[in-house]
Amino acid sequence: MKIRQISVFLENRKGRLYEVCSLLGQAGINIRALTIAETESFGVLRMVVNKPDEAISLFRKHNITANLTDVVAVEVPDRPGGLAEVLKVLSDGNINVEYMYAFVEKFSEKALLVFRFDDPSGAHRVLTSAGVTVLTEKDLPNL
């Protein structure tokens, strides 16, 4: 039910994002979803890739600080108000969203979003009982 996200610590330096992404590219690791959060001095790159274990060891080898976090991938109807419906389910269930972002590609008629919750198991329970589809790593095509 959970998906592993890789988070990378980055200094705000020109070309740094490119360096990290091309490192993954050279190793044949595909980025499926990605977002960056930043402050004036540093940023955190979060992504879902097809080979998380390989990505982590690659980063360790290159002295790049990274870790794995459990996130939840949720199918959201791709129409006006689709996201709002899912957020309402979470809010009614008292689930706090730390952050969220979208997958790069579309797999179906529905949009796929990555959610980071402080309580991923609780979130999963609330979502599934409301009939929202939650995907596992295996469910993601080409992952």
Binding site for another protein (CB under 8 A): 5, 7, 9-11, 37-39, 41-42, 44, 46, 63-67, 69, 98-99, 116
Q: Which is nearer to another protein, 98 or 119 (CB)?
A: 98
Smallest distance from another protein to CB 7, Å: 3
C-alpha–C-alpha distance, residues 84 and 87, integer Å? 5
Asked if residues 72 and 120 have their Cβ atoms less than 8 Å apart, the reply is: yes
Nearest to 115 by CA among 63, 69, 58: 69
Smallest distance from another protein to CB 41, Å: 6
Q: Which is nearer to another protein, 70 or 137 (CB)?
A: 70
Smallest distance from another protein to CB 136, Å: 20
Asked if residues 46 and 34 have their Cβ atoms less than 8 Å apart, the reply is: yes
Q: Which is nearer to another protein, 3 or 132 (CB)?
A: 3
Spell out where 27-81 has E strands. 31-38, 42-49, 66-77
Smallest distance from another protein to CB 101, Å: 12
C-alpha–C-alpha distance, residues 103 and 126, integer Å? 22
